[in-house]
Amino acid sequence: MDVKEIGVVENGVVVGRKAHLQERLDRLEVLYRDTRQQLEATREGGGSSSGGGYGGSTSGTFKIFVGNLSDLTTPSDLREAFGPFGVVVEADVLKNYGFVHMLGEEDGMRAITALNGRMLNGKPLIVAVSTCGRRANDHSSNFRDSKVAASRKD
Protein backbone atom coordinates (compact mmCIF):
# COMPACT_ATOMS: atom_id res chain seq x y z
CA MET A 1 0.00 0.00 0.00
CA ASP A 2 1.42 3.35 -1.05
CA VAL A 3 1.44 6.24 1.45
CA LYS A 4 0.21 8.59 -1.29
CA GLU A 5 -2.97 6.49 -1.65
CA ILE A 6 -3.85 6.77 2.05
CA GLY A 7 -2.71 10.24 3.01
CA VAL A 8 0.18 11.89 4.76
CA VAL A 9 1.85 10.00 7.58
CA GLU A 10 2.45 12.12 10.67
CA ASN A 11 4.36 10.57 13.59
CA GLY A 12 3.57 7.10 12.33
CA VAL A 13 -0.21 7.70 12.08
CA VAL A 14 -2.03 8.25 8.83
CA VAL A 15 -3.57 11.72 9.05
CA GLY A 16 -6.89 10.57 7.57
CA ARG A 17 -7.21 7.90 10.26
CA LYS A 18 -6.11 10.38 12.91
CA ALA A 19 -8.85 12.80 11.90
CA HIS A 20 -11.42 9.97 12.02
CA LEU A 21 -10.29 8.97 15.50
CA GLN A 22 -10.41 12.59 16.69
CA GLU A 23 -13.98 12.95 15.41
CA ARG A 24 -14.97 9.76 17.21
CA LEU A 25 -13.29 10.92 20.42
CA ASP A 26 -15.13 14.25 20.20
CA ARG A 27 -18.50 12.46 19.78
CA LEU A 28 -17.76 10.17 22.75
CA GLU A 29 -16.78 13.13 24.94
CA VAL A 30 -20.06 14.89 24.12
CA LEU A 31 -22.04 11.72 24.84
CA TYR A 32 -20.18 11.23 28.14
CA ARG A 33 -20.75 14.85 29.20
CA ASP A 34 -24.46 14.72 28.33
CA THR A 35 -24.98 11.41 30.14
CA ARG A 36 -23.13 12.66 33.19
CA GLN A 37 -25.25 15.84 33.26
CA GLN A 38 -28.44 13.78 33.02
CA LEU A 39 -27.29 11.54 35.86
CA GLU A 40 -26.36 14.52 38.05
CA ALA A 41 -29.69 16.22 37.29
CA THR A 42 -31.55 13.07 38.30
CA ARG A 43 -29.61 12.82 41.56
CA GLU A 44 -30.02 16.53 42.40
CA GLY A 45 -33.69 16.61 41.46
CA GLY A 46 -34.46 13.50 43.49
CA GLY A 47 -35.84 11.90 40.34
CA SER A 48 -38.82 9.60 40.43
CA SER A 49 -36.62 6.56 40.84
CA SER A 50 -34.66 7.60 43.91
CA GLY A 51 -35.90 6.29 47.21
CA GLY A 52 -39.05 4.77 45.79
CA GLY A 53 -40.77 1.98 47.64
CA TYR A 54 -39.99 -0.55 44.95
CA GLY A 55 -37.61 -1.12 42.11
CA GLY A 56 -34.42 -1.53 44.05
CA SER A 57 -33.26 1.88 42.83
CA THR A 58 -29.60 2.47 43.51
CA SER A 59 -28.04 5.94 43.58
CA GLY A 60 -30.59 7.56 41.31
CA THR A 61 -30.85 4.67 38.88
CA PHE A 62 -33.67 2.23 38.22
CA LYS A 63 -32.57 -1.39 38.68
CA ILE A 64 -34.00 -4.09 36.42
CA PHE A 65 -33.71 -7.86 36.83
CA VAL A 66 -33.07 -9.82 33.62
CA GLY A 67 -33.48 -13.58 33.88
CA ASN A 68 -33.19 -16.67 31.69
CA LEU A 69 -30.01 -15.44 30.02
CA SER A 70 -28.05 -17.64 27.66
CA ASP A 71 -24.47 -18.53 28.58
CA LEU A 72 -23.50 -16.49 25.51
CA THR A 73 -25.04 -13.24 26.80
CA THR A 74 -22.63 -10.44 27.72
CA PRO A 75 -23.11 -7.06 29.40
CA SER A 76 -22.72 -5.51 25.94
CA ASP A 77 -25.70 -7.55 24.72
CA LEU A 78 -27.81 -6.16 27.56
CA ARG A 79 -26.65 -2.60 26.88
CA GLU A 80 -27.56 -3.04 23.22
CA ALA A 81 -31.01 -4.46 24.05
CA PHE A 82 -31.89 -1.83 26.69
CA GLY A 83 -30.16 1.15 25.03
CA PRO A 84 -33.03 2.12 22.73
CA PHE A 85 -35.24 2.75 25.77
CA GLY A 86 -32.94 5.15 27.61
CA VAL A 87 -29.54 5.64 29.20
CA VAL A 88 -28.04 2.40 30.50
CA VAL A 89 -25.77 3.32 33.40
CA GLU A 90 -24.62 -0.22 34.18
CA ALA A 91 -25.23 -3.76 32.92
CA ASP A 92 -24.02 -6.88 34.71
CA VAL A 93 -24.33 -10.55 33.78
CA LEU A 94 -24.04 -13.28 36.38
CA LYS A 95 -24.66 -16.98 35.72
CA ASN A 96 -28.02 -17.09 33.90
CA TYR A 97 -29.34 -13.72 35.04
CA GLY A 98 -28.25 -10.12 35.20
CA PHE A 99 -29.13 -6.59 36.20
CA VAL A 100 -29.46 -3.40 34.21
CA HIS A 101 -29.38 0.04 35.83
CA MET A 102 -31.18 2.66 33.78
CA LEU A 103 -31.13 6.40 34.35
CA GLY A 104 -34.89 6.86 34.63
CA GLU A 105 -37.78 4.83 36.02
CA GLU A 106 -40.05 5.65 33.05
CA ASP A 107 -37.40 4.42 30.60
CA GLY A 108 -36.90 1.31 32.70
CA MET A 109 -40.60 0.50 32.77
CA ARG A 110 -40.83 0.94 28.98
CA ALA A 111 -37.86 -1.42 28.57
CA ILE A 112 -39.44 -4.00 30.88
CA THR A 113 -42.70 -3.92 28.94
CA ALA A 114 -40.98 -4.16 25.56
CA LEU A 115 -38.28 -6.72 26.38
CA ASN A 116 -40.05 -9.21 28.66
CA GLY A 117 -40.36 -12.40 26.62
CA ARG A 118 -38.15 -11.12 23.79
CA MET A 119 -35.60 -13.61 22.45
CA LEU A 120 -31.93 -12.88 23.14
CA ASN A 121 -29.26 -15.37 22.12
CA GLY A 122 -31.89 -18.06 21.63
CA LYS A 123 -33.71 -17.69 24.96
CA PRO A 124 -36.78 -15.66 25.97
CA LEU A 125 -35.89 -12.97 28.49
CA ILE A 126 -37.60 -12.59 31.84
CA VAL A 127 -37.46 -8.86 32.57
CA ALA A 128 -38.86 -7.33 35.75
CA VAL A 129 -38.34 -4.58 38.29
CA SER A 130 -35.54 -5.70 40.58
CA THR A 131 -36.63 -6.50 44.11
CA CYS A 132 -33.22 -7.39 45.51
CA GLY A 133 -32.08 -5.57 48.60
CA ARG A 134 -34.28 -3.97 51.22
CA ARG A 135 -37.32 -2.05 50.13
CA ALA A 136 -38.47 1.00 52.07
CA ASN A 137 -41.97 -0.38 52.73
CA ASP A 138 -40.93 -4.00 53.36
CA HIS A 139 -41.93 -4.76 56.97
CA SER A 140 -41.63 -8.53 56.62
CA SER A 141 -38.06 -8.49 57.95
CA ASN A 142 -39.29 -6.72 61.11
CA PHE A 143 -41.88 -9.47 61.55
CA ARG A 144 -39.25 -12.20 61.07
CA ASP A 145 -36.89 -10.46 63.49
CA SER A 146 -39.58 -10.21 66.17
CA LYS A 147 -40.49 -13.89 65.73
CA VAL A 148 -36.85 -14.93 66.11
CA ALA A 149 -36.46 -12.77 69.22
CA ALA A 150 -39.66 -14.22 70.73
CA SER A 151 -38.52 -17.80 70.07
CA ARG A 152 -35.21 -17.12 71.83
CA LYS A 153 -36.99 -15.92 74.98
CA ASP A 154 -38.58 -19.37 75.44
**How far apart are the C-alpha atoms of 15 and 18, rounded to whole Å?**
5
Q: How confident is the model at residue 31 (pLDDT cuts 50, 70, 90)?
A: confident
Domain ranges of the chain: 3-45, 62-129
At 148 the pLDDT is 44
**How far apart are the C-alpha atoms of 62 and 86, rounded to whole Å?**
11
CATH of domain 62-129: 3.30.70.330
Average pLDDT over residues 62-89: 95
Average pLDDT over residues 143-152: 45
Proportion of the chain above pLDDT 90, given as a percent? 43
Residues near 126 by Cβ (< 8 Å), separated by ≥ 6?
65, 66, 67, 68, 116, 117
Give pTM, 2 decimals: 0.52
**How far apart are the C-alpha atoms of 58 and 64, rounded to whole Å?**
11
pLDDT in tens, 36-60: 777 766 666 544 433 333 344 446 7
Inform me whether the pLDDT recorded for 141 exceeds 90: no
**How far apart are the C-alpha atoms of 89 and 83, rounded to whole Å?**
10
Average pLDDT over residues 12-38: 73
What residue type is 144 in one-letter code? R
At 151 the pLDDT is 47
Average pLDDT over residues 81-108: 93
